Chains A and B, each alone.
Chain A
Amino acid sequence: MAPNKDRSVLVVDDEESICLLYQAELEDRGYTVQVQNDGTRAMEDVERFHPDLVILDIKMPGADGFEILNCLKKKFPDICVILNSAYGSFRNEASLQMADGYVIKSSDLTELLKTIEKVLA
């Protein structure tokens, strides 16, 4: 568990249960985890915590994951972002390129965890 001790992750997702799941699984692996259910307040949290990584849902009420991604990468190019979505396809391919990774939501978190390790390595 120790290896990820100083790695901080912010999970932005409107589904509370998903936030809870990710938090539990990531903390088990030693990450420091913050969660935010309100997409509109994602940037506030980023500024406040300045995490190493943001796991970002795309479709949230009142907020668009792609916009947050844009804004975030402009202000903090060093913060990594993994897009995480229930959809299998995206209209916005160009924005997808800006992210460091992209994982379709699944109850099997293996792929997500692998991508996190790769991105933070």
Chain B
Amino acid sequence: MENSKIEFEILRDILKISNSTLNLHERLNQVVEEIVEKMHVDACAIYLVKKGGETLSLKGAVGLNPEMINGISLKVGEGITGWVAAEKTPLAVLEIFKDPRMKNFPGSWEEKYRSMISAPILFLGKCLGVINAWTIEEKAFTTDDLHLLSSIADGMSGSIRNAQLYLDATKQYEELVSLYDISKMLNSTLELQELIGMVTRKSTEFIGASGCMLHILDVKDNLLKVKSMYGLYKSPEEISRTQLRLGEGVAGQVAIKAIPMMINNLPEESEHLLPMEKIFSSLLCIPMTVKDRVIGTLTLHDKKDASGLLVPFDKDDMNLLMALASQGALVLENAWNYERAERLFQENAQKANDFAILYEISNAMNTTMNLDQLLKIILKAVTFGGGLNFNRSILLLVNEKTNTLQGMLGVGPDSGEDAFRIWTEIGSKKMSFKEWIASVNASGQERTSRFDQLAKGIRVPIEYGKGVLALTVLEKKGFNIRNIQEDPRVNPDVLKKLEFESFATVPLISQDRVIGVIVVDNLYNKREITDKDLRRLELFASQAGLAIENAKVYSDLEKATRSIRELQDRLIQSEKMAALGEMAASIAHEIRNPLVSIGGFARRLDSKLDASNPEKRYSRIIVKEVGRLEKVLQEVLAFSRSAEPLFSECSVITLLEEALEVYEESFSECGIEVIRDFHEGVPNIHVDSNQIKQVFINLFSNAQHAMSKGGRLTVGCEYKAVEGEAMIYVSDTGGGISEDVITNIFNPFFTTKHTGTGLGLAISHRVVDMHGGDILVKNEPGVGVTFTISLPARQKRGGISEEMDLSAARTGVKGKEVHYRGQGDFLNGMGKGEGSESIP
């Protein structure tokens, strides 16, 4: 018990920490501090598995050298910690330095400790890290301790997993952003075309040629292409073709051999030349290389001297041109990098955007972890303009029990006008996804759209032949349906109501299982869904699947915590009852003895008194009252031993009448009017009649106390056929119960009376509980109190109504004021509904 209390506290704190906005590092530190405090150990540390899954690194510690955080790195399988990570089992070690697995890191302070306990942090079967705790004194950790530490590890795993996911997403996002920044910088200083022009012009002018031509090798088709010309050419075709194969013409040969060519007698040379190259008399062609790779060629034609006469190219020209070419090549290479970067960025801009949204989803998740909210966020992301940009989307989840797909949520405008309004609103405010989600949450309840309602109504069996939604699950892939009418895969019934014309589906996958399907369309702007859209949606869906799985793990965890908490509550309740038992037993002795002598002597006196003696009436009263007290005492003792009730068939109304009889006199003395509201058709109940009668007596006693100066007591009884319950209510006009009192009235020994024991309601509650019933109190401060008891009662076939009539007739015969009503519903608005306090 003690352990489960600690476990509960730690788990609760860890959930709190996991939910906090602290970064992972701070969260881990808080967790280890919590463990040291609550588990009474001297040191605690958390190791996390690094990306790649091969090494563990120390991330948070109390009692180890803080300088070693991030400084200790262990291979999975190495040391005790590594062993736990590899085997995925918790471990307790009595003497760590005798353990052959032990690996000490000098300076870590681990040598201070003698015993240790270690548990893996597992997430869906994968080891994310290890928690260790040490003691200075030798300590034999128990299986309970192992279990507790494992529970803690479980409690943390979701949080660690998420933190890592966010980290990855941010990193990728940041990489893309920096790439974009570099490209922008390049963009602002260089213009490719301008640069190339500069190279050709400078080369022509420096060497004094008539013209210059620059070929660039396009790696895609291995063709040399003219990118720039300077000088006296009329058109590129005049001297060359715009494209050359490698080896073709002078440039083609220079490019392939990567050596310069200088020809000063072009017309005679024929071997390498294309016919049109012969219109010049001389040329100088230089390969442009970057890191030994030819990226193009630079060709000069017809060198002339200052007076305009043709002169041959010489060695100096070649050297100069080579220098220029290498400069140019570098500049070009930079420019291309930019171009490529820009292309890459454009390709990735969308991805970056997805990542940004995923990142924000993750952040949003961190604040909710609530599955419903998460589903909403996912669909918002799908329809958000800056996100995936579909008009409408529906999310369906697989129900494994019934093997069906169930619509969970639909997001999208109900009509074209609606769509226009929403989109202009978002557009005009230029909202980011984050702001949009926030604004959606802030505005409280969104109007539930008709679309959402229709979406929620979707149920599709997961079988072949049941349409494309089922197919998406069965085949684990998305579909892009261009024409809903003509496509045989579509089951027209399911989607007709939603006015789908063309749409796409994508599976939500987690752990290789399809957990749901997202359906999207563009009903309002009729934009065609491309395969690229679909791929992006798939990427998104894989992330969303993970997020949903996380949320589920989280909610399972919450459920587990809740059950621990309920256990705790029950524990407290039973502790109270045990205390009650002890008290009752010890006061029994004190009360029973005097009762025995009072009653005993009263009997003695009574038996000595002649029947005609007027005093005999009084001795009778003493005998009777003591008898009653002894009986109550007997019953209190019986409850404290948690005696099983003695069941028999009896009539509720008879029991009520018998209980009322006990209070008849004091009611009339106090001026309390009693009204009976007994309905017909209440079947007999199967109860311990003494105990149930005692409950009624307790309620009447309280009512009488509350109305000592008069009032009205209404006692009612009705059969609730649907629930199969007999409902009894006792209502007074005694002014009600104050706020601070009402929460305590069912606690043993709570009383506001000088002579009260405070056991009346506590015992009544227990009795009703043991009968499988419920006791509720409806309090109207300033007016009065109504207690409602429901007890299981099943109408048997035949005979019952007769029995009922009999008991009703009996009460009628006694001449009491009996109110019969039809099948009216006096408990409306008073039963378990609002305004009533349910008793734990």
Spell out A's residues near B (CB within 8 Å): 15, 17-18, 20-21, 24-25, 59, 86-89, 105-109
Contacts and interface: CB of A to CB of B under 8 A. Distances in A.
B186 interface: no
B589 A86 contact: yes
B630 interface: yes
B641 A88 contact: yes
A25 B596 contact: no
A107 B627 contact: yes
B599 interface: yes
B597 A17 contact: yes
B594 interface: yes
Contacts of A25: 600, 604
B459 interface: no
B598 A86 contact: no
Contact of B593 (A24, A89, A105): A105
Contacts of B638: 88
Nearest to A16: B597
Interface of B: 585, 588-589, 592-604, 623, 626-627, 630, 634, 637-638, 641
Given A107-B603, A107-B630, A21 B596 contact: yes
Contacts of B637: 87-89
B604 A24 contact: yes
B594 A17 contact: yes
Contacts of A107: 595-600, 602-603, 623, 626-627, 630
Contacts of A15: 593, 597
9 contacts: A18-B597, A25-B604, A86-B588, A86-B593, A87-B585, A88-B588, A107-B603, A108-B599, A108-B627
Given A18-B596, A21-B597, A87 B589 contact: yes
A25 B600 CA distance: 9
A28 to B, nearest CB: 8
Contacts of A88: 588, 634, 637-638, 641
A59 B602 CA distance: 25
A108 B601 CA distance: 10
B12 to A, nearest CB: 39
Which 7 pairs show the lowest CB-CB distances between chains A and B? A107-B599, A17-B597, A86-B592, A21-B600, A86-B589, A107-B600, A15-B593
Contacts of A21: 596-597, 600-601, 604
A13 B299 CA distance: 131
Nearest to A58: B589
Nearest to B593: A15
Given A18-B597, A108-B599, 16 more contacts: A18-B596, A20-B597, A21-B597, A21-B600, A25-B600, A59-B589, A86-B588, A86-B589, A86-B592, A88-B634, A88-B638, A105-B593, A107-B599, A107-B603, A107-B627, A109-B603
B641 A89 contact: yes
Nearest to B598: A107
B417 to A, nearest CB: 78
B720 to A, nearest CB: 36
Contacts of A87: 585, 588-589, 637
Contacts of A109: 600, 603
A71 B441 CA distance: 81
Contact of A105 (B585, B596, B623, B641): B596
A15 to B, nearest CB: 5
A106 B588 CA distance: 12
Contacts of B623: 107
Contacts of B598: 107
Given A18-B597, A88-B637, A88-B638, A108 B588 contact: no
The secondary-structure label for the interface of chain A is loop
Nearest to B597: A17
B345 to A, nearest CB: 84
A98 to B, nearest CB: 22
A89 B589 CA distance: 12
Nearest to A19: B597
A109 B595 CA distance: 12
Contacts of B596: 18, 21, 86, 105-107
B762 to A, nearest CB: 19
B597 A106 contact: no
A15 B171 CA distance: 85
Which residue, of A15, A18, A24, A106, has the highest number of chain B Cβ atoms within 10 A? Answer: A106
A13 to B, nearest CB: 8
Contacts of B594: 17
B623 to A, nearest CB: 8
Contacts of B602: 107
Nearest to B591: A86
Nearest to A88: B637
Contacts of B604: 21, 24-25
Nearest to A20: B597
Contacts of B630: 106-107
A25 B599 CA distance: 13
A106 B604 CA distance: 14
Nearest to A107: B599
A105 B594 CA distance: 11
A77 B408 CA distance: 82
A108 to B, nearest CB: 7
A39 B641 CA distance: 28
Contacts of A89: 637, 641
B586 to A, nearest CB: 10
A86 B441 CA distance: 66
Nearest to A89: B641
B624 to A, nearest CB: 11
Contacts of B588: 86-88
Nearest to B595: A107
Nearest to A86: B592
A118 B641 CA distance: 30
Nearest to B634: A88
Nearest to B643: A88
A88 B584 CA distance: 11
A106 B592 CA distance: 8
A88 B636 CA distance: 11
A40 B634 CA distance: 29
A18 to B, nearest CB: 5
Contacts of B641: 88-89
A20 B637 CA distance: 26
Contacts of B589: 59, 86-87
A21 B595 CA distance: 12
Q: Which of A15, A59, A88, A89 has the most CB of B within 10 A?
A: A88
Chain B CB within 10 Å, residue with most, of A15, A20, A24, A59: A15
A116 to B, nearest CB: 15
A87 B588 CA distance: 7
- Identify which of B585, B600, B602, B630 gathers the most chain A CB atoms within 10 Å of its CB: B600
A75 to B, nearest CB: 28
B619 to A, nearest CB: 12
A87 B595 CA distance: 13
Contacts of B599: 106-108
A108 B599 CA distance: 7
Contacts of A18: 593, 596-597, 600
B126 to A, nearest CB: 54
B779 to A, nearest CB: 36
A60 B544 CA distance: 74
Of A21, A25, A86, chain B has the most CB atoms within 10 Å of the CB of A86
Contacts of B626: 107
A118 to B, nearest CB: 20
A18 B180 CA distance: 100
Contacts of A108: 599, 603, 627
B603 A105 contact: no
Nearest to B641: A89
Nearest to B622: A107
Contacts of A17: 593-594, 597, 601
Contacts of B634: 88
| Among A25, A88, A89, A107, residue most surrounded by chain B Cβ atoms (within 10 Å) | A107
A105 B599 CA distance: 11
Q: Which of B592, B596, B627, B630 has the most CB of A within 10 A?
A: B596
A96 to B, nearest CB: 16
